[in-house]
Structure 1
Amino acid sequence: MNVQSMAKNILACVGGEKNVVSLVHCATRLRFKLKDRSKADREALENTDGVVTVVESGGQFQVVIGNNVPEVYKEIGRISQLLEGSAADHSQKEKGSLAGRLVDVVSSIFTPLLGVMAGAGILKGLLLICTNAGWLSPEETTYTILYAAADSLFYFLPLLLAVTAAKKFGANPFIALTIAGALIYPTILELKNSGAQTEFFGIPVVLMNYTSTVIPIILAVFVMSYLERLCMRFIHESVKNFITPLICLTVMVPLTLIVFGPLGVYTGNGIAAAILSVFDLSPILAGAIIAALWQILVIFGIHWGIVPVILNNIAVHGKDYIKPATAAAVFAQTGAAFGVMLKTKNKKLKALAGSAAVTGIFGITEPAVYGVTLRLKKPFVCGVISAAAGGAIIGYSGSVALASGAPGLLTIPIFYGPGFLGFIIGISVSFVLSILLTYIVGFDDPVEETKEQPVENSGGEPIYSPLQGEVLPLTEVSDKVFASGALGEGIAVLPSKGVVTAPADGIVTTAFPTGHAYGITSESGAEILIHIGMDTVRLDGKHFNSKVVQGQKVKRGDILAEFDLDALKEEGFDVKTPIIVTNSGQYTDIIPTDQKKVKTEEQIITLISSPWEENNHEI
């Protein structure tokens, strides 16, 4: 599927543009914050070509895509207004736990900077290698120019964070930038370096060095966003556009220098000291625990609570002890994917594991974790154990990160400092040990270990019509997600009677509370989706009477639901109903009936299996 179709399908499956409060992206996933989660069709998303999986964590609805996520993100921005203003829709109250909201805030602020941070970090590491090898001298102007390119992001980090924080908190980015600029203004820096006593109307000011800091500007912009909204609410329209910035600057710059600045710096230093004390107590244990838990934290999105600590350590102290241990986790899960590739006899899984492992080497582990190791379970555990072993070596060596960036082959230069040799040994042990453990321990391979035998029944599996009415090709459905075949192949019925029956013997895997859609998995493994009408989810169950619940066993012809067909038509709803085989890729062919009209329990689709039994349902 091309990027344009993919973006349209994803936007439709999350409930449309109006259902999105905010949208950001990281290296591999789109991170939606939705107004109404029930309007999102997770099953449809996971069956969309190009989507690896869907993860709900930290109050976010995360669509994992992989390396193409920036292109899909841009395309969503092109076809919608999400990237122009609705991302900061603060009229929508934040929902979810405090921890979930904090994760959302941190990820939204730091995610846009991760790419350029990685690039600058690699350049910084390469310069360090060049100077140690004698290829460049710090006195050369070439070095000075390249170092300025590498270090400017970290030096002016408060300015960059002011922009992303303003976007997240719904504040004016130019006011936020000006506040950040005041913190690193040359005269303020000179005043701090001089050691002279500083006061503001008699109030003592403890000046700090705010270049490369993280916490102070985020606190300042957060408070400023509320002050700005208060001013915009009560100041007259004729003067509020310049009086509001005046008040914000006059209040926030001194307040930040007096309160938020020292508080943020002391907090960051305190956290750094606490982490360092843990490593001093037992560097082996600290490295092992961080490496073992890191990928688990990433799955639940909790790692975003640690990211600011890592960045603050690098920005303020020039190095960080946590990040090297996380690299062991990355290389361990990559090794587990390689182990799966070597072990499996399933061609599709072998190809998936191989491509995911190659991606993982460069620091993008989501395809390996969500597409391979976590689904097979044992390889993921092998990866966690191997990460702990590598993390222990890294901790013992006192390895540090000198810059930020996703741990991977290309970002190895950012770890070029104390304990670099131990770092290389640690990630190598994680990678190799994970391959060996995965291969030795094994996993439930989706393919039989014995020689494949031809399937005796080649006549095809029948799927029976759940509705009575006129038969239509799927392309005539108005919803492009269904019509395009993105969710799978199938057929549509224009019903003449408001009764939906089971199309095969099986289990009800999906029964929407709104009664408008049902998923059935047949006894032979066919996954069938029946979606009654278009956009009928908006009725919130009105005119629908569901007769089954999720997990219930049904026989062909059992009534799934009844609905008021005339009422739907009167309210202007399109009642064309698609019947989709969502796991179409597991069949050689899907043949719809050539009849113009059908009754319930008449055969409507024939599924033709591959002439060889593959049992790929677990992939």
Structure 2
Amino acid sequence: MSYEKLAKEIVEGVGGEKNVDSLVHCATRLRFVLKDNAKADKAKLEKTDGIITVKENGGQFQVVIGNTVPEVYAAIGKVSGILDESGSGSKEKEKSGKKGFGSVIEVISSIFAPLMGVMAGAGILKGLLLIASNFGWLDKAGSTYTILYAAADALFYFLPVLLAVTTARKFGGNTFTAVTIAGALLYPSIIELKNAGTAADFFGIPVIMMSYSSTVIPIILAVIVMSKLEKFCNRVIHESVKNFVTPLISLVVMVPLTLMVFGPFGVYVGNGIASVLLAAFSFSPLIAGAILGATWQMLVIFGVHWGLIPVFINNIAVYGKDGIKPAATASVFAQAGASLGVMLRTKNKKLRTLAGSTTLSALFGITEPAVYGVTLPLKRPFIAGIIGGAVGGAIIGQAGTQAFASGAPGLLTLPIFYGPGGQGFPGLIMGITASFLISAVLTYILGFKDPVEEEDTAKPAADKDNTPANAAGKVSDKASDKAFSPLSGTVVPLSEVPDPAFASEAMGKGVAIEPASGRIVAPFDGTVTVAFKKKHALAVVSDKGAEILVHVGIDTVKLDGQHFTSHIQEGDRVKAGQLLLEFDAEKIKAAGYHTVTPIIVTNSHDYADVLPLQQGQVREGDELLQIIGGNETEDSDKK
């Protein structure tokens, strides 16, 4: 996939660069704030290759991409000025017309989304340290533990500083002034004043000293007001002095104001919301857990879940743990189970492949592909996921499971729920297992309207003709073809490639080769259709119409062309065996990337089958793939 091509299509689809006020991304979505949503072509975007679906929630125009969203986000920065802080992408959406609850959710999501990746990583590390210390593998008094804990806890301790950055970007404030205000809240002498417990005042006005490490609301409120104050000062202060006078005024006004007003207010509000939710779990953890387990994915769909994330973080900061978030984990595993149920029941090959890959991503906490691509469109599987989530959430709630660090629920983040003595952790395992299995079984039993495969209309011809194409349930007008090995090495089945997109054959059938040399040659006579700018992959179409993609290594696009030398351009005519690309396998491995190279027939759906012709060692130019078309019998007779 060309990320830059997709980026251009997305920018055009949202109404052009001038229609974008801001853009952030989370784990799977591009979250646009548009000046006029009516200018966006939602229907066209939903049909664009590389886009799973498009949603309008919480004041945002959300383009769901999947796991490659960081690459697409970066590509948008290359093809447009949307990500330029001096451009429209950094400006506050002052005249958007978004009001009320929707605007609150939009603000929260924009502020927290950029931090979710590193927050999940730090949360996992914190959870693993909890397990290691509980089992005696690491001594809490040792320097190793201290160093690793600093790496895990620094984000949460200095969270006000990071939120100052994202809030300033959201509201167009000076980032460095915002960070300075956040730093003042965590300054050692301010902490000493709080710890001493003595009365504090500012020119005689009483100041209630609070602890601001890991807090959320105070710094967000402070930076929002600071941004407004800066705009006012910049309008009335002369150009010659405003560059230093405006920050001076902002610091002198905002630091005391935050300590006197925003700080105590934010802390009390955060604690109040947390107390209400905790009271609900105290009254009936089973019912509260069931409700959250059932509704979490619906909250995600509407973007409302962002409103609860500050509560989770606040609970961990104040109490050292959170008993609300664990129930949401059941909902994640429930949708994974529902997607698995679809995979097991459907007879549609394309849907089976999609459901299989989305099940895997959902197990690791990325549910959007499963929800938007599989369960929600089919309706009944989504309902099965709600039921499974309710049962799992009830079990987790009743078990009293706690979260001891932040992170998106999934297999990798399970350690964050393991606390002292492991209390409540078995209940979590029981709950997510129950939600996964119940959802999968219910989906399989309840069924759904299975999409009809496009080739089904050609099935009657199978009774009249036993050619391989017709036996597969379709008639193709593509002639049979053969591809020669584009490199030397060891043949590896696609199922063993460490990338679900290739391993699931979602991109097409073929094989992979672990390279023994650093040369890629043409697999047949044909035309170069794609020559990626990063040089890590290329595509050639044969004179008979077979399209071959050669992708050197996994995730090697991140090398940005390093260790690759291309000898072709798009549109070039090539002969079988002609040198197309060279690469340094050892340097690619040293950079931390797999070199296994998938060779895919990307238009496999146009053929009856694609059969590997080699096992074990293969040399450059050996026959590698037999591509069987609708006229295989005719071709065989000619031979």
- What TM-score do you get using the length of structure 2 for normalisation? 0.71
Aligned counterparts of 2:604 and 2:18: Cα–Cα separation in 1: 35
Which residue does 1:38 correspond to in 2? 38
Aligned partner of residue 395 in structure 1, secondary structure: helix
Q: Is contact 2:15-2:41 (8 Å) kept?
A: yes
Counterpart selection for 2:332 from 330, 333, 338: 330
The verdict on how the C-alpha distance between 1:40 and 1:329 changes in structure 2, with shifts beyond 3 A counting, is: same
2:427 is equivalent to residue 425 of structure 1: no
The verdict on how the C-alpha distance between 1:91 and 1:352 changes in structure 2, with shifts beyond 3 A counting, is: closer
Which residue does 1:616 correspond to in 2? none
Which residue does 2:166 correspond to in 1? 164
2:371 is equivalent to residue 366 of structure 1: no
The verdict on how the C-alpha distance between 1:431 and 1:183 changes in structure 2, with shifts beyond 3 A counting, is: same
Aligned counterparts of 2:271 and 2:262: Cα–Cα separation in 1: 14
Aligned counterparts of 1:132 and 1:320: Cα–Cα separation in 2: 19
Aligned counterparts of 1:381 and 1:444: Cα–Cα separation in 2: 14
The verdict on how the C-alpha distance between 1:406 and 1:388 changes in structure 2, with shifts beyond 3 A counting, is: same
Structure 1 residue 96, shift from structure 2 partner = 2.2
Q: Is contact 1:35-1:92 (8 Å) kept?
A: no
The verdict on how the C-alpha distance between 1:586 and 1:21 changes in structure 2, with shifts beyond 3 A counting, is: farther
- 1:561-596 per-residue CA deviation (whole Å, 9 max, x = no partner) reads xxxxxxxxxxxxxxxxxxxxxxxx99969xxxxxxx
Pairs within 5 Å for 1:82-121? 82-85=82-85, 86-90=88-92, 93-121=95-123
Pairs within 5 Å for 1:5-24? 5-24=5-24
Matching residue's letter, 1:171: G
Structure 1 residue 170, shift from structure 2 partner = 0.9
Pairs within 5 Å for 1:31-430? 31-85=31-85, 86-90=88-92, 93-417=95-419, 418-430=423-435
Structure 1 residue 275, shift from structure 2 partner = 1.3
Q: CA RMSD in A?
A: 2.2
Structure 1 residue 156, shift from structure 2 partner = 0.5
Structure 1 residue 453, shift from structure 2 partner = 6.3
Q: Is contact 1:94-1:101 (8 Å) kept?
A: no
Q: Single out whichever of 272-281 and 370-379 deviates more from structure 2.
A: 272-281
Q: Is contact 1:21-1:92 (8 Å) kept?
A: no
The verdict on how the C-alpha distance between 1:20 and 1:134 changes in structure 2, with shifts beyond 3 A counting, is: same
Aligned counterparts of 2:244 and 2:144: Cα–Cα separation in 1: 44
Matching residue's letter, 1:439: Y
The verdict on how the C-alpha distance between 1:91 and 1:339 changes in structure 2, with shifts beyond 3 A counting, is: closer
Percent identity for Structure 1 against Structure 2: 64
Aligned partner of residue 90 in structure 1, secondary structure: coil
Aligned counterparts of 1:156 and 1:414: Cα–Cα separation in 2: 19
Counterpart selection for 1:438 from 443, 446, 455: 443
Structure 1 residue 174, shift from structure 2 partner = 0.6
Structure 1 residue 433, shift from structure 2 partner = 0.9
Aligned counterparts of 1:224 and 1:143: Cα–Cα separation in 2: 39
Matching residue's letter, 2:5: S
Matching residue's letter, 1:427: I
Structure 1: gaps spanning 5 or more residues:
461-584, 590-609, 612-619
Matching residue's letter, 1:442: G
Q: Is contact 1:59-1:101 (8 Å) kept?
A: yes
Structure 1 residue 39, shift from structure 2 partner = 2.1
Aligned counterparts of 1:429 and 1:452: Cα–Cα separation in 2: 40
Matching residue's letter, 1:413: P
The verdict on how the C-alpha distance between 1:171 and 1:355 changes in structure 2, with shifts beyond 3 A counting, is: same
Structure 2: gaps spanning 5 or more residues:
463-473, 477-602, 608-628, 631-639
Matching residue's letter, 1:360: A
Aligned counterparts of 2:373 and 2:448: Cα–Cα separation in 1: 14
The verdict on how the C-alpha distance between 1:91 and 1:317 changes in structure 2, with shifts beyond 3 A counting, is: closer
Structure 1 residue 5, shift from structure 2 partner = 1.3
Aligned partner of residue 363 in structure 1, secondary structure: coil
Aligned counterparts of 1:175 and 1:453: Cα–Cα separation in 2: 67
Aligned counterparts of 2:197 and 2:63: Cα–Cα separation in 1: 51
Aligned partner of residue 22 in structure 2, secondary structure: strand
Structure 1 residue 447, shift from structure 2 partner = 3.4
Which residue does 1:28 correspond to in 2? 28
- 1:57-86 per-residue CA deviation (whole Å, 9 max, x = no partner) reads 112111001000011001111221111222
Aligned counterparts of 2:459 and 2:228: Cα–Cα separation in 1: 69
Matching residue's letter, 1:45: L
Aligned partner of residue 227 in structure 1, secondary structure: helix
Which residue does 2:2 correspond to in 1? 2
Matching residue's letter, 2:76: I
Q: Single out whichever of 265-274 and 20-29 deviates more from structure 2.
A: 265-274
Which residue does 1:568 correspond to in 2? none
Matching residue's letter, 1:78: K
The verdict on how the C-alpha distance between 1:257 and 1:48 changes in structure 2, with shifts beyond 3 A counting, is: same
